[in-house]
Amino acid sequence: MSVHWIADRTKCFDSSGIRKVFDLGAKLKNPINLSIGQPDFDVPELVRQAAIDAIQDGKNGYALTQGMPVLRDKLQGRIDQEFRHGDRQVFVASGTSGALVLAMMALVNPGDEVIVFDPFFVMYNSLAAIVGGKVVYIDTYPDFRIDLDRVASAITPRTKMILFNSPANPTGAAAGPEEVEGIARLAEERNVVLVSDEIYRGFSYDGPFVSPAKYNPETLVIDGFSKSSGMPGWRVGFAHGPRAIIQEMVKLQQYTFVCAPHPFQWAAAAAMDIDMTPQFETYRRKRDMIVEGLANDYELVTPGGAFYAFPKVPWGTGTEFVTKAIEEHQLLIIPGNVFSRRDTHFRISYAAPDAVIERGIEALKKLAKR
């Protein structure tokens, strides 16, 4: 095989550092696994049954590209009720990631600038690069707040998009109401597309979730059922925004993903009727366990949402610290440089049983004292 066969776009990013930790972890006998970005609760029973019923009822053919009415109409009703925008349309995507891919393909031309807040979700910079976009990073250390003046001065005539994610992966930071309104209005004033990744909206612990779409009706919202209903393997996401953008995304979906998995759309429709507040409350308590457990030994911004904490390493680089954590304590965490241009922090996912979190805290206390 010739290396020339491989397209240039594959060279603009590395394979996810998270996978490397997973590979290392697969070799350990009894790891303390705080690395996985998925809920440790299962899909609710009624929703599992809805998936089984859909399969048994023969809902196994292609779904409509834009999503089956059972789910899409229900989502549209809920979105209309929340936002009351005349021109807000939804479609069902193949996971939240699928919706992100289509958003990039539909909106970013080669050379367009895409503003990404650092630390960022691993896909953002890679996806922007795949479509030829130029990533413009805005550093948000040490408190992971959004400085609107910095965003305003980063916007150039080539800026196409701002990628916003709250509650955030990997920091757990949940933007306050002023930040949300500020970024929404700034994008509108400067005629830049605001993409709001709201996959963790249910996991908001210290106040109600507010979408920037409330203030900027042209916001493109990306969302999905992976985290909120514990079904990341079922690949059901959705996006809503101005009709003209949604129609292009649906067109692109027709020639890429084709559709979101058909039976799981029926299950996702059932999931919309299930109250997940108990699960979110459990995660708030897990958040408190981590914050209290690490308070004396780590510099940590209290995460307001999602199921991640992003402490500063007490010594060495993020990579050195995580390597030691794995070698000496079988503790699986992710070095900050996977999500950032800095390598000074590490990500904990507390989507794990309490006993695992407790073991993780003990190991981290020992590691800090090294």
Binding site for ligand PMP (CB under 6 A): 37, 95-97, 121, 165, 169, 197, 199, 224, 226, 232, 237
Report in angstroms how near the CB of residue 296 gets to ligand PMP at its nearest.
29
> Would you call 34 helix, strand, or coil by DSSP?
coil
The Cα–Cα gap between 155 and 148 comes to 11
Q: Whose Cβ is closer to ligand PMP: residue 115's or residue 367's?
A: 115
- What is the residue type of 16? S
Residue of 97, 165, 92, 88 whose CA lies nearest to 339: 165
Q: For 333, phi and psi rounded to 5 degrees?
A: -135, 175
DSSP per-residue codes, 244-258? HHHHHHHHHHHTTT-
Say if CB 226 and CB 95 are below 8 A apart.
Answer: yes
DSSP per-residue codes, 119-164? S--HHHHHHHHHTT-EEEEEE-TTTT---HHHHHHH--TTEEEEEE
In sequence order, which residues have a C-beta less than 8 Å from that of residue 210 and are 6 or more positions away? Answer: 177, 180, 181
Report in angstroms how near the CB of residue 76 gets to ligand PMP at its nearest.
19
Residue 347, beta-bridge partner list = 334
Q: Whose Cβ is closer to ligand PMP: residue 95's or residue 303's?
A: 95
Residue of 229, 287, 281, 284 whose CA lies nearest to 47: 229
Q: Whose Cβ is closer to ligand PMP: residue 197's or residue 343's?
A: 197
Report in angstroms how near the CB of residue 267 gets to ligand PMP at its nearest.
14
In sequence order, which residues have a C-beta less than 8 Å from that of residue 139 and are 6 or more positions away? Answer: 118, 341, 342
> Where does 131-242 have alpha helices with state H?
148-154, 177-189
Q: Whose Cβ is closer to ligand PMP: residue 172's or residue 182's?
A: 172
Report helix, strand and coil shares of the chain as percent, to nearest 5. 45, 15, 40
> Would you call 10 helix, strand, or coil by DSSP?
helix
Q: Whose Cβ is closer to ligand PMP: residue 95's or residue 230's?
A: 95
Say if CB 235 and CB 220 are below 8 A apart.
Answer: no
Q: Whose Cβ is closer to ligand PMP: residue 89's or residue 166's?
A: 166
Q: Whose Cβ is closer to ligand PMP: residue 199's or residue 367's?
A: 199
Report in angstroms how near the CB of residue 223 gets to ligand PMP at its nearest.
9
Q: Whose Cβ is closer to ligand PMP: residue 199's or residue 220's?
A: 199
Report in angstroms how near the CB of residue 2 gets to ligand PMP at its nearest.
33
Say if CB 346 and CB 322 are below 8 A apart.
Answer: yes
Say if CB 122 and CB 13 are below 8 A apart.
Answer: no
Report in angstroms how near the CB of residue 347 gets to ligand PMP at its nearest.
11
Q: Whose Cβ is closer to ligand PMP: residue 232's or residue 318's?
A: 232
Residue of 160, 146, 164 whose CA lies nearest to 190: 160
Report in angstroms how near the CB of residue 85 gets to ligand PMP at its nearest.
23
Report in angstroms how near the CB of residue 167 gets to ligand PMP at its nearest.
9
Report in angstroms how near the CB of residue 338 gets to ligand PMP at its nearest.
12
Beta strand 334-335 with 237-242: parallel, antiparallel or unpaired? unpaired
